[in-house]
Amino acid sequence: MINRRAFLAAAPVVGAAVVAGPALAATDADADVVVAAGGDVPGLDVGWPEKMVEVGFDFAKRAPYSIVHEVVLPAKPRVVFDVLADPAPWPRWLSSVQKVEYRKPFGPGTVRDVVTNGIGTIREHFFCWDEGERFAFSVSSSTSPLLTTFYEDYVLKPVAGGNTRLIWTVACQAKPWAFFAGPALMTVFKINTPGA
């Protein structure tokens, strides 16, 4: 069994990039966009819930703001997947995270609530959950009114020596009046994620 502290300490960051993409209209009609239904919000009993636009894999290519981090980790993809899926360590990795809670079962359709410092509580819907290989989610609701869309994708690829290349993509779109939110959030991810 791999020691989680050693696993994280030995992870050299091999690259990160912030990419600006085309503006996304609020009335986007692409097939991968689903507006969260009103029935999605119950359970997020932490304040004022803001419905967000749920998206799929295509969003990262056309998001106004996105960042991609790549890192080689000293463990097999299955071990890395299990560590990332575990809610307990997230507050230790990212100081902006207070608590992570899943609504099981794990798989496509899994819901995760994340309580953060600064942007409130967000509810994530996983539309991809491939054990040991990949998971991706889109935020369906939040207590913060700044963003219309937020997306993350974690891809795990085996590499030489029993290691794993993790490709982590984060993308978002802010509300027009909160034009500062997208660049600010991507800057925070760019600065803090390698340390995490």
> How does pLDDT run across 142-194, given as a tens digit for each residue?
888 888 899 999 999 999 999 999 999 999 888 888 777 767 766 766 666 65
Which residue did the predictor score with more confidence, 79 or 36?
79
C-alpha to C-alpha distance for 88 and 17, rounded to whole angstroms: 28
* Beta strands 121-130; 134-142: pairing state: antiparallel
Sign of the torsion formed by the C-alpha atoms of 116, 193, 129 and 25: positive
Q: List Cα–Cα distances, 142 to 54, 119, 139, 147, 184, in angstroms.
A: 12, 8, 7, 9, 18
The SS3 of residue 193 is coil
**pLDDT, mean of residues 10-39:** 34
Spatial contact of 141 and 121, defined as CB atoms under 8 Å apart: no
Q: Which residue, chain included where needed, has tokens 């998001």?
A: 63
Q: List Cα–Cα distances, 71 to 109, 131, 145, 193, in angstroms.
A: 27, 19, 32, 11
Q: Could you tell me the pLDDT band of residue 138, with boundaries at 50, 70 and 90?
A: very high
Quick check: pTM over 0.85? no
Is it the case that residue 8 has pLDDT exceeding 90?
no
* Residue 195: per-residue pLDDT: 57
Q: Which two structure tokens, joined as six digits, stand for 141?
A: 């609701």
Spatial contact of 53 and 175, defined as CB atoms under 8 Å apart: no
Largest CA distance in the chain: 49
C-alpha to C-alpha distance for 76 and 175, rounded to whole angstroms: 39
Percent of the chain exceeding pLDDT 70 equals 68
C-alpha to C-alpha distance for 4 and 170, rounded to whole angstroms: 23
DSSP state of 143: S
